[in-house]
Amino acid sequence: MNKEQRRAYRIKREKKARQDIHNYKMCKICGKPDFHHAKGLCYSCYKKQWRKTNNKVTCKECGKLKLHHANGLCNNCYQRLYHPEMFELAKIIKVRKAHNIPYDLYKKITKRCVICGFDKIVDLHHLDSNHKNNSIENFVGLCPNHHKMIHTLKFKELILELIKKKVKPMKHEQK
């Protein structure tokens, strides 16, 4: 809700409260007559009180100590478990913004490491190290080990040779 919508909602709520005098209750903290939200507090005092408390829990999913969202989960785990479509959409937007390529192509390139075939975690690597060059031929999928090795001077030549050996036969097979 943006600022204007919150203001309109508050005005609407206050107008309704004026019409129905029985809904008025005095807030225990600020003393204003307002709708009773919970614990004898108006909505704004209740939210302020909630924010002040140490509302951190150990997330059931990730095990980290984070602010509680719902069902004993942190916000990230809750969104991932209960709204997977939004989580997937966020990944698509992130890939599009970072690499300027379609998500389907990203998934295809990062399906497995071109050197060892590892398929659990695969990073996208620019062969010419130019992040503005987003041509399909410039991308290759590498596992975290080989990706770290290609950025280490000691192993760079070895990894580039292995990539050349593996990528050229694959390009001929696709044609």
Summarize pLDDT for 64-92 with one digit per residue, the tens: 988 777 888 888 888 888 888 887 888 88
Predicted confidence (pLDDT) at residue 175 exceeds the cutoff of 50 = no
Contacts of 124 by beta carbon, 8 Å cutoff, 6+ apart? 99, 106, 109, 110, 139, 140, 141
The token pair that represents 96 in the structure block: 């599009």
pLDDT grade, residue 98 (50/70/90)?
Answer: confident
Q: What is the mean pLDDT of residues 28-46?
A: 75
Predicted confidence (pLDDT) at residue 16 exceeds the cutoff of 70 = no
Q: Which of 165, 95, 164, 104 is nearest to 124 (CA)?
A: 95
Predicted confidence (pLDDT) at residue 36 exceeds the cutoff of 80 = no
Predicted confidence (pLDDT) at residue 165 exceeds the cutoff of 50 = yes
pLDDT, residue 90, reads 84
pLDDT grade, residue 11 (50/70/90)?
Answer: confident
C-alpha to C-alpha distance for 44 and 42, rounded to whole angstroms: 6
pLDDT, residue 172, reads 41
- Helix boundaries (H) for 34-155: 43-52, 75-82, 84-99, 103-109, 144-150
pTM beyond 0.85: the answer is no
Mean per-residue pLDDT over the chain, rounded: 82
Q: Which residue has the tokens 């307002």?
A: 34
pLDDT in tens, 110-161: 999 999 999 999 999 999 888 888 888 889 999 999 999 999 999 999 999 9
Q: Which of 50, 52, 51, 31 is nearest to 40 (CA)?
A: 31
